Amino acid sequence: DQQVKQNSPSLSVQEGRISILNCDYTNSMFDYFLWYKKYPAEGPTFLISISSIKDKNEDGRFTVFLNKSAKHLSLHIVPSQPGDSAVYFCAASWTSGTYKYIFGTGTRLKVLA
Amino acid sequence: GAVVSQHPSRVICKSGTSVKIECRSLDFQATTMFWYRQFPKQSLMLMATSNEGSKATYEQGVEKDKFLINHASLTLSTLTVTSAHPEDSSFYICSASGQPLAKNIQYFGAGTRLSVL
């Protein structure tokens, strides 16, 4: 049972435009959500996170939106840059216990120059 | 800051041998370390969670006698794949969280590609 889903395995966006990556989850007990970026041959690096008490968190070009009623979160990158080309994973977590993550399958973003 | 080093990056071994993978936090105290496994085109699946000085907690379906985890210090955790078989071939990746970092952010190593012949 895949509790966290990223239904788009890949996405191509023109440089300067907005990239929107989506993630859906099924477990309403998740209360913390994160986005990680992964380049080839490197480990995932933390990008941005959001607590379930918020519906938006912004950090520079990156904004994460959370819709709890729809169990959906999205990552917006504006403007997109070629260096943003990577695989993006969303993860869901609980802010209790060991804070373990449940990851989605990832979306490969390609930003075209 | 928050660098996690994982070695080796790639290992090829014969069936029946054991392989040890190391995960080190270089600039913080890793009170909790996590071990994941990733199959092609699938998500990172959590195998186990370990707290420094304690026994690891394994996820359902993960054989603890097959995948031995040791977290003996605040900077080092090891995963030993015992009597490896071809079906153990996969990408293994560790992560760590701890002091003085945010408790709910994990920092990842670069991963180890294990190929069992």
pLDDT value of residue B48: 95
> Shortest CA distance to A102 belongs to which of A12, A15, A40, A23?
A23
Q: Could you tell me if B4 and B101 are in contact, meaning their C-beta atoms sit under 8 angstroms apart?
A: no
Tokens representing residue B89 in the block: 């071939």
Q: Tell me if A95 and B107 make a contact (CB, 8 A cut-off).
A: no
Instruction: Quote the pLDDT of residue A1.
Output: 67
* Residue B55 DSSP label: P
B34 to A43: CB separation less than 8 angstroms, yes or no: no
**Yes or no, beta carbons of A105 and B41 under 8 Å apart:** yes
Residues A4-29 pLDDT 10s: 999 999 999 999 999 999 999 999 99
Sign, Cα dihedral of A88, A89, A92, A96: negative
The residue of B3, B43, B59, B93 whose CB has the most chain A CBs within 10 angstroms, and thus the best one to mutate to test that interface, is B43
Q: Which residues of B touch A (CB under 8 A)?
A: 4, 6, 9, 32, 34, 36, 41-46, 49, 51, 57, 93, 95, 97, 103-111
Return the C-alpha torsion angle B106, A97, B46, B67, nearest 10: 110
Instruction: Please indicate whether, in this complex, the C-beta atoms of A43 and B110 are within 8 angstroms of each other.
Output: yes
> What average pLDDT does the structure give for chain B?
93
Q: Please state, rounded to an integer, the average pLDDT across all residues of chain A.
A: 94
Q: Alpha-carbon dihedral of residues A78, A27, A4, A101, nearest 10 degrees? A: 90
Instruction: Give the C-alpha separation, A37 to A91, whole Å.
Output: 11
Whether residue A44 and residue B108 make contact (CB cut-off 8 A), yes or no, is: yes
Over residues B20-58, the pLDDT tens digits come to 999 999 999 998 999 999 988 888 999 999 988 888 999
Average pLDDT estimate for B70-79? 91
**Residue B39 — φ and ψ, nearest 5°?**
-90, 160
Closest-CA residue of chain B to A88? B43
Q: Do B111 and A45 touch (CB under 8 A)?
A: no
